[in-house]
Amino acid sequence: MKQKKENTTEKLKIGLYGISGCAGCLLTVIYEDCFTEINELVDIKAFPLIKEDNYKGPLDYCFIEGTVCFDEDIITLKKLRKRSKYIVALGACSHVGGVPSMKNFLNKDKVMRFVYPKYNHLKSTNPTPINKHIKVDYYLPQCPPSKKEILEFVQAITSNRPFRLTEDPVCFECRKKGNPCLLNQGQLCLGPITRGGCDALCPTNDTICYGCRGPCPDANIHAFKELLKEKGYTQKELVAKMQTFAGLQFKEFEEEKSTWLEK
């Protein structure tokens, strides 16, 4: 009788880490219907959120969630970069700065006093996405990231297939699903300038898109601004929406094209 050959292919070594953030992106990974399949495809060597004893050696892929808000975050990032072949920014905070990056557009002292009235000794930096401090190889955007997209990414890297984010705006997915346009219903939705891939989750549930996946590569913010002006919106209203999740990236994107929107 012929003996069956054992599968000796070594699984990719994966680490999942978080810096300053809510841990929601990491929690998305451990949802049962997503985690079971991921765990079968790769070797999860380090996951401090759910594991006490974590591997400290080299990693093939390191997923990182959270925004850089403190000097300690930068130290952590640099250590993880040295250990990892590839870094994956997991979620809106690590990708575009997320909600914490709103602080960059506000009075920082006032924000600190409001959030931490009893702890005036705390020191923080301007919140930034992780690619401002280390090289990032892949991005899995959104708040929280899509379970489907996380799984597709893991399936791609374990089968040597390329992984690419869609370049279409959220509006494209709304049209495919037959959703009514929220802009035409008098709601300031950022779908026309936001990268799709979320299956138009928010507009499908009658909620505006806040741009948590960042701008799509060919977003025409100037034309969008003119459209909103025709609909009676002010620049202040648009800027406030854009700053909710991806203000830093929208700002950089617009500066490359022309001039950032003034309040």
Report H helices in the chain: 24-29, 32-41, 71-83, 92-96, 108-115, 147-158, 170-177, 201-204, 221-230, 235-242, 247-257
Q: Are residues 100 and 188 in the same domain?
A: no
Nearest alpha carbon to residue 123 among 104, 107, 109: 109
Structure tokens at 261: 């929107």
pLDDT band at 6 (very low <50, low <70, confident <90, very high): very low
- Tell whether 87 and 120 lie within a shared domain: yes
Tokens 């854009």 — which residue?
A: 242
In a domain, 5, yes or no: no
Residue 30 lies in a domain: yes
For the record, the structure tokens of 103 come out as: 């602080």
217 and 129 together in one domain: no
Distance of alpha carbon 107 from alpha carbon 70, whole angstroms: 17
Answer yes or no: is 253 within a domain.
yes
Residues 33 and 114 in one domain: yes
- In terms of domains, do 226 and 129 share one? no
The answer on 191 and 153 residing in a single domain is: no
Last residue of a domain, one of 103, 138, 158: 158
Residue 262 forms part of a structural domain: no
Residue 211, both tokens: 């741009």
- Decide if pLDDT at 255 tops 70: yes
Domain boundary among 124, 158, 192: 158
pLDDT digits 0-9 by tens, 63-97: 999 999 999 999 999 999 999 999 999 999 999 99
Q: Is pLDDT of 195 > 50?
A: yes
What is the domain extent for residue 84?
A: 13-158
pLDDT per position as a tens digit, 120-132? 777 778 999 999 9
**What pLDDT does 116 receive?**
83
Report CA-CA distances (Å) from 40 to 44, 87, 189: 9, 21, 39
| Residue 60 lies inside a defined structural domain of this protein | yes
Q: How many CB atoms lie within 10 A of CB 9?
A: 7
50: number of Cβ within 10 Å: 13
Is 165 within the bounds of a domain? Answer: no
Same domain, 117 and 224: no
Residue 259 in this model has a pLDDT that exceeds 90? no
Say which DSSP state 194 is in. Answer: B
Q: Does residue 246 register a pLDDT over 60?
A: yes
* Same domain membership, residue 182 and residue 148: no
Q: Do 113 and 238 reside in the same domain of the chain? A: no
Note whether residue 117 is domain-resident: yes
Q: Collect all residues with Cβ–Cβ distance below 8 Å to 157 and sequence separation of at least 6.
A: 12, 61, 163
Short-list 254, 204, 243, CA closest to 96: 243
Give the per-residue SS3 of 121-174: CCCCCCCECHHHCCCCCEEECCCCCCHHHHHHHHHHHHCCCCCCCCCCEHHHHH
24 and 144, same structural domain? yes
Give yes or no: residues 206 and 150 share one domain: no
Shared-domain flag, residues 67 and 152 = yes
Q: Is residue 3 part of a domain?
A: no
Looking at residue 129, its pLDDT comes to 98
Of 109, 105, 107, the closest CA to residue 263 belongs to: 105
The CATH number for 116's domain is 3.40.50.700
pTM for this predicted structure: 0.90
**Cα 72 to Cα 122: distance, rounded to the nearest angstrom:** 13
Counting the structural domains of the chain, the total is 2
Q: Which of 136, 158, 180 is the last residue of a domain?
A: 158
